[in-house]
Amino acid sequence: MGKSASEIAELVASGRRSAVEFAEEALDAIERSNGILNAFLSVNRDLTLEAAGRIDAMVAAGEKVGRLAGVPVALKDNMCQIGFDTTCASKILNGWSPPYSATVVQKMIAEGAVTVGKTNLDEFAMGSSTENSAFGPTRNPIDLERVPGGSSGGSAAAVAASIVPLALGSDTGGSIRQPASLTGVVGVKPTYGVVSRYGLVAFASSLDQIGPFSRTVGDSALALEVISGWDNMDSTSYDGAKFSLVSQQGVPMDGVRIGIVKEFMDGCDEEVLAAVRAAAEQLSKAGAKVDEVSIPETKLGLSAYYIIAPAEASSNLARFDGVRFGLRVEGSDIAETNVKTRTAGFGDEVKRRIMLGTYALSSGYYDAYYGKAQQVKTMIKRGFERAYRDFDALISPVSPTTAFRFGERASNPLAMYLSDVCTIPSNLAGHPAMSVPFSADSSGLPIGIQVLAPALGEELMFRIAFSIERSSGGGGFGSLDPALEEVMTGGR
Amino acid sequence: MVDSETNQSPSAPSFLPEGWEIVCGLEVHTELKTRTKLFCGCLNEFGSYPNTNICPVCLGLPGALPVLNGEALEIAARIGLALNATVQASIFHRKNYFYPDMPKDFQISQYDIPLNADGYLILPSGVRIGIVRAHMEEDTGKITHLGGSSGRIHGAERALIDYNRSGVPLVEIVSAPDIASPDEARQYVTELRAILIAIGASDGKMEEGSLRVDANVSVRPIGESEFRTRCEIKNLNSLRSLVRAITYEAQRQVEVYTAAGEVLQQTRHWDEDRSITVALRTKEEAEDYRYFPEPDLVPLEPTESWIGGLRESLPELPRQRRLRLCDLVGLDSANDQIETAILPELYGFVDAALNAGVDPKLVVARASNELASLLPIPDGYELEWFSDLCRMEMERKLSSTQAKAVLQESVKSLTPPAVVRDRLGITQLDDDELMIQIKSIVEENSDEWTRLKAGEMQLKGFFIGQIMKKTGGKADGKIAAKMLAVLLSED
């Protein structure tokens, strides 16, 4: 079990351990594990050690270092950082090195974090298993025969395998929470607009939100405090949202009204349901008032999502045309170059969604598809608002099942899409939600509990998450796959 | 919305066969004179070295996001107010299509809810042209085709793209189909351009592409209430092209109908060299732009107080200026002199001279006849030099002939008029001396004088000429004429 981000930051800031040491540990762990885990797509050893060295120099000079001093951090490879390639796990961007860094990256670095590498994902964040990566799937550290979930599977796996204490992912329909649940770590999707999207390669702009992965609730709280806030480079970012999240640890639950979302329980594995009920019982014991609540509108979430997200994606991904950056396959004229480049560069799932989205936006179909889906989005928001008249927060399963095997759903897109049925409504509503590891099924596979809160309700959401973490015993679930364990500790 | 039926010109253009009329609407794109681009901090500057005013946002790099330029929004709303439009809550849309000059492969534009709607513009003739909308959007990059023989897209070997223009703020002003002739189209663009310059929205340079015009043209038999199929004409780079293209296109369509053919809804290109319009694409081939609301930008919700502030800050508009000048010089309606004197390029000079208390008639005359012929007035010619010149003439320190010469030299050499006058050694005769000179001319030419007195009035010119010759041009022609008249009546 690796150290937490807050422990590392304290050790480095006080000069007891060096940032370079932690960076080297993380880089070595990537090198040892990546052959079987494939959590990372790229590293830049020199840049990482140089950044860590700067932190150590600051400490030595008695300068103030940030709240993440020397903390090794992994970035999902759809976020830009100067010095690292950004591929989005797509052949179309293979080798593209951005000339600028995402706002979240700048904020993390300003607090002393040291980025150690870019993590694997489903191509352009489209998928729920990381099997759609053009550079091969990531394996679940708990069971190498199973998927880590997705699309932020690489970040989840990197944290679950204790390669890094902290990683960033992006969540458009569950892409942080579902892999967090399947790998037994904490994963947070903040309120839409709380974290700047500048420098995140867009999938579905109105739904995308960056958030942290960590092994403790406290580390995610710390990370979210660092990366949230107004950004003048993102028009949709919230002005003035500043949370006190770390301080929510241990705040009593007395009188907090928590609803279990009935619709999210439908169709879930029995062991998942049992975990949610057990977590509810623990919350009651802690003083919360727990009851069931029905939000029937959420049933429409999946359908609306698979209109809105592909529609926006079809437009967002148009720029990958072979003209300015990334892959270029020459044709006899520019139109043919566009087509050849995109045919060669995009994988099947990306093509499927571009086609879906293009169709949904076509004149004559717009009202029936995109227009209708927007109405559903509003309905779901209202449904949540109704629930929040009687409840302060909600809980539910994150994923209907625990981690599934490779190939199990890859050939059946609809079955794959159903992985996100409990997570999508929060994206459509723009509300915060997170996955907190709580228990494991009979095969030892982790089960996370989803905590949902109203817009900007992050403080209460974290208070509940801390409570769940405490009642579960804390520290994540499921032990590493023995084969991985052996590689990770090999030679020691 | 303006009812176009009530706005028809009384007569159809004479170049069309009897019984036919033109229905024309114009789409005018104007680049806004902002410091920076519409959605990023890059400089909005014409003529910079290619691909130097660029950043992740206007290059459409993965992960970059647009942020609206407040200055552009203000100018766009001022355009709406100057065109008597309603400035309303609005949103941005994405217009999706693939083209290499469009870095994101979509253009951020406004679609069904524009910033400005339902305005109008009144031509100098008094004809009212409806403005359907005036909305914001971003400009594209600029492609230069190289190689091949024609210099055109077809046959070019390669293309260079300059993204300096990518993301430059544009406002598209769409008129109602209220324009009934090529000349009205010319008047409309002229007046619109003057408005845009007056409010500081645009520099109005058609040759640099900061004002671009597309014309929607259809024809119909007079008396028919339905609109017929229209064609959109592109590549109208000057007022001359605009007039010629509409004329050609209207004649073409009438010929098609006369031959019992059908006009197809097409986008047509004005070929300046061949003086014809050529079909680019028909409606069936038109792209589906898959418009949808731009999720990366927030809705615009202008407040009443913000709009009120902008309205108050609007300067005098060309129409008000025209009426004011007419009033000052005592005209009921504007003549060509007034129209010239209100050219945006002359605003500052005319105002400075009027403020200096110069006779408005003299100001309008010197501005429209002399100053206008010297356009473009070079930087460095000071506003007050023009008022100084007018004042010198008004105070008869210069004759009108001298004033014209001094003005020309003053603009050419960027020198104050008093200095020019001294340099040219110009002095004005006083009236007594002029009278003495005139009397001696009368004596020297007694034959002609007798004939003039007998009623051969054309000999007046002869005497004026003699006076000018004798005084070396120092005499004021008007004064001389008056003195001549006095002498005639005295004898």
Minimum-distance CB partner of B62 among A86, A314, A335: A86
Give every residue of chain A whose pLDDT is below 50, as ranges: 491
Report strand pairing: A393-397 vs A40-42. unpaired
State residue B153's pLDDT score.
Answer: 60
Report yes or no: B318 and B193 within 8 Å, Cβ to Cβ. Answer: no
Q: In this structure, what DSSP letter does residue B427 have?
A: -
Would you state the structure tokens that stand for residue B62, as one six-digit string? 């993965």
Minimum-distance CB partner of A318 among B59, B65, B104: B104
Beta strands (DSSP E) in B222-272 are 231-236, 266-271
Residue A36 in domain: yes
Q: Which chain A residues contact residue B64 at CB under 8 A? A: 100, 198-199
Q: Does the beta-carbon distance from A334 to B159 stay under 8 Å?
A: yes
What number of C-beta contacts closer than 8 Å exist between A and B? 103
State residue A1's pLDDT score.
Answer: 57
State residue A94's pLDDT score.
Answer: 87
Q: Does the beta-carbon distance from B63 to A234 stay under 8 Å?
A: no
Cα A36 to Cα A487: distance, rounded to the nearest angstrom: 9
Cα B313 to Cα B201: distance, rounded to the nearest angstrom: 13
Which amino acid, B466?
Q
Catalytic residue list of A? 76, 151, 175
How far does the CA of residue A460 sit from the closest CA of chain B (Å)? 27
State residue B2's pLDDT score.
Answer: 37
> B178: helix, coil or strand?
coil
> A2: helix, coil or strand?
coil
Q: Which domain holds residue A451?
A: 5-295+382-489
The vertex-A346 CA angle with A143 and A355, nearest 5°, equals 105
DSSP states along B200-226: TS----GGGTSEEEEEEEEEEETT--S
Would you state the structure tokens that stand for residue B314, as one six-digit string? 């609007």
End-to-end CA, chain B: 69
Q: Which chain A residues contact residue B63 at CB under 8 A? A: 78-80, 86, 98, 100, 102, 197-202
Cα B154 to Cα B147: distance, rounded to the nearest angstrom: 10
Q: What is the pLDDT of residues B149-206, one digit of tens each?
A: 655 566 667 889 999 999 999 999 999 999 999 999 999 999 999 999 999 999 888 8
Cα B419 to Cα B439: distance, rounded to the nearest angstrom: 33
Residue A343 in domain: no
Q: Which chain B residues contact residue A200 at CB under 8 A? A: 63
User: In this complex, is the C-beta atom of B298 within 8 Å of any C-beta atom belonging to chain A?
Assistant: yes
How far does the CA of residue A44 sit from the closest CA of chain B (Å)? 21
Q: Does the beta-carbon distance from A236 to B56 stay under 8 Å?
A: no
How far does the CA of residue B167 sit from the closest CA of chain A (Å)? 15
Residue A356 in domain: no
Within 8 A by CB and 6+ apart from A196, the residues are: A102, A103, A104, A210, A227, A229, A231, A233, A234, A237
Residue A341 in domain: no
Cβ burial, residue B360 (10 Å; 0-12/13-18/19+): buried
Report yes or no: B68 and B301 within 8 Å, Cβ to Cβ. Answer: no
Q: What is the CATH number of the domain that holds A275?
A: 3.90.1300.10
Restricting to B residues 259-288, those with a Cβ less than 8 Å away from any Cβ of A are 288
Would you state the structure tokens that stand for residue B346, as one six-digit string? 């002359």
CA B94 to each of CA A314, A315, A336, A470, B91: distance values in angstroms, whole numbers, following the listed order: 12, 8, 23, 47, 10
State residue B5's pLDDT score.
Answer: 40
Q: Which chain A residues contact residue B295 at CB under 8 A? A: 204-206, 236, 312
How far does the CA of residue B101 sit from the closest CA of chain A (Å)? 10
State residue B9's pLDDT score.
Answer: 45
For the CA atoms of A248, A251, A255, A259, the dihedral, rounded to the nearest 10 degrees, stands at 40
10-residue averages of pLDDT along chain B (491 residues): 41 83 97 97 94 97 98 98 98 96 97 97 94 98 80 70 97 98 96 94 88 96 95 93 97 96 94 92 78 97 97 94 92 87 88 92 92 90 92 85 88 90 76 81 88 86 86 77 83 60
Instruction: Give the length of chain B.
Output: 491
From the CB of residue B315, how many other CB atoms can be counted at a distance below 10 Å? 12
Cα B316 to Cα B197: distance, rounded to the nearest angstrom: 11
Q: Phi, psi at residue B324, to the nearest 5°?
A: -65, -45
Q: Does the beta-carbon distance from B63 to A321 stay under 8 Å?
A: no
Residue A473 in domain: yes
Q: Does the beta-carbon distance from B67 to A235 stay under 8 Å?
A: yes
Q: What is the pLDDT of residues B13-60, one digit of tens each?
A: 788 999 999 999 999 999 999 999 999 999 999 889 999 999 999 999
Would you state the structure tokens that stand for residue B218, as one six-digit string? 């259809």
Q: Which chain A residues contact residue B105 at CB under 8 A? A: 318-319, 321
DSSP states along B334-345: --HHHHHHT-GG
How far does the CA of residue A363 sit from the closest CA of chain B (Å)? 6
A229: left (phi over 0), alpha (psi -120 to 50) or beta: left
User: Which residue in the block uniquely carries the two structure tokens 């879930």?
Assistant: A268
User: Which residue in the block uniquely carries the two structure tokens 């990256």?
Assistant: A105
A26 alpha-carbon distance from chain centroid: 20
- ipTM comes to 0.95
For the CA atoms of A79, A83, A88, A93, the dihedral, rounded to the nearest 10 degrees, stands at 140
Q: Which chain A residues contact residue B103 at CB under 8 A? A: 319, 324
Count the domains in chain A: 1
